[in-house]
Amino acid sequence: MWYTLPWGFDEFFYEYLPEKWIIKVHVFEKPEKVTTIGQSSLRTFDASSQMWPLPICSLPHVVLSDCIETLNLSYYNTPIPINFLSTLRNITLANSINCLNDCSLLPITIRSIRILLFYTHPNYMLPNWPVVFDSLSKLSELTSLRIFMYDLPKTIDDRNCQTIAKVARLFSDFGFYFRYKFDVSDGSEFETIFNDHAKFITQLCHCILSLCLDKQPYYSVDNEHCGLTMWF
């Protein structure tokens, strides 16, 4: 099935935590005396509020609007106006959850979003799930949503579990995962927390299935029961 999905094997993708970045956009800056620009080869754009202080919307729209298909944002604090990116299809957000609070700032062409939340990294904050999901529900072409939560010291409460379950049905491909940087199988201090995460994943799976009365989705649960993937 991975041929139809935006990320078939998540373990093969690097984590979008910037240490060194090559900003390639300056190559495509428009000279003053040139009136036309040919199609550029830029397809993926990486941006970080720590490594690159200029807001993305300050760059010339002619540079970005017709060439960016994938956007990786790290450590942005507020919603960011990128609705001029008319070819944007995929977004990965690392500790930038507030970028999803206002869907009017996002292009309607987005088809897949990955949310990465790292508890031990800068700009971490828990999402306001109702606000985020209400915004995402208005993106008509969005079909894939994957959420990864790293090193979370406390699992998600029951009320937000119900919210997540209700919204999951809006997508044809949905995933929710808890992850840790360290092995928890040998008496780690995170083992108890990981067990709570496993209970949450089981609860989330049951909640989604109970809401899908007309057609049961296909689903897969990680061996450690800390990740859930569903296809509707």
Residue 70, phi then psi, degrees to nearest 5: -130, 130
- Between CA 122 and CA 180 the distance in angstroms is 16
- The token duo for 171 is 């997508």
- With contact defined as beta carbons under 8 Å apart, do 174 and 133 qualify? no
pLDDT bucket at 46, cuts 50 / 70 / 90? low
Question: Which residues make Cβ contacts (< 8 Å) with residue 23, sequence separation at least 6?
Answer: 46, 52
Domain endpoint, select from 130, 156, 173:
130
Q: Quote the percentage of the chain above a pLDDT of 90.
A: 38
Range with the lowest mean pLDDT among 25-29, 109-113, 135-139?
25-29
- With contact defined as beta carbons under 8 Å apart, do 169 and 232 qualify? yes
pLDDT bucket at 206, cuts 50 / 70 / 90? very high
Edge-first strand listing for the sheet containing 173-179? 44-48, 70-74, 90-94, 112-118, 144-150, 173-179, 227-231, 218-221
Q: Please, what is the angle between helix 191-211 and helix 158-168, to 10°?
A: 50
In the chain, how many domains are there?
2
- Between CA 121 and CA 100 the distance in angstroms is 19
State the average pLDDT over residues 206-221.
89
- The answer to whether residue 28 sits within a structural domain is no
State the average pLDDT over residues 58-83.
71
- The token duo for 200 is 């949450």
pLDDT bucket at 194, cuts 50 / 70 / 90? confident
Of the candidates 219, 194, 196, 195, the one whose C-alpha atom is nearest the C-alpha of residue 207 is 219
- The answer to whether residue 11 sits within a structural domain is no
Domain endpoint, select from 130, 154, 180:
130
Q: Which of 10-14, 112-116, 215-219 has the highest mean pLDDT?
A: 112-116
Higher pLDDT, 11 or 183: 183
State the average pLDDT over residues 175-194.
74
Looking at residue 44, its pLDDT comes to 64
Looking at residue 51, its pLDDT comes to 43
- Between CA 202 and CA 185 the distance in angstroms is 19
State the average pLDDT over residues 215-223.
88
Q: Which domain holds residue 49?
A: 38-130
Burial profile 94-121: b = 16 or more Cβ within 10 angstroms, e = fewer: bbbbbbbebbebbbebbbbbbbbbbeeb
Q: Is 94 helix (H, G, I), strand (E, B) or coil?
A: strand
pLDDT bucket at 173, cuts 50 / 70 / 90? very high
Secondary structure of 25-89 in HEC code, one letter for each residue: HHHHCCCCCCCCCCCCCCCEEEEECCCCCCCHHHCCHHHHCCCCCEEEEECCCCCCCCCCCCCCC
Q: Check whether residue 126 and residue 149 sit in a common domain.
A: no
Domain endpoint, select from 97, 130, 163:
130
Render pLDDT for 81-103 as a digit per residue (tens, 0 to 9).
888 888 899 999 999 999 998 88
pLDDT bucket at 171, cuts 50 / 70 / 90? very high
- The answer to whether residue 164 sits within a structural domain is yes
pLDDT bucket at 163, cuts 50 / 70 / 90? very high
Higher pLDDT, 152 or 38: 152
- The answer to whether residue 102 sits within a structural domain is yes
- The answer to whether residue 201 sits within a structural domain is yes
Higher pLDDT, 185 or 135: 135
Q: Is 100 helix (H, G, I), strand (E, B) or coil?
A: helix
- Between CA 166 and CA 161 the distance in angstroms is 9
* Mean pLDDT score of the chain: 76
pTM, whole model, 2 decimals?
A: 0.76
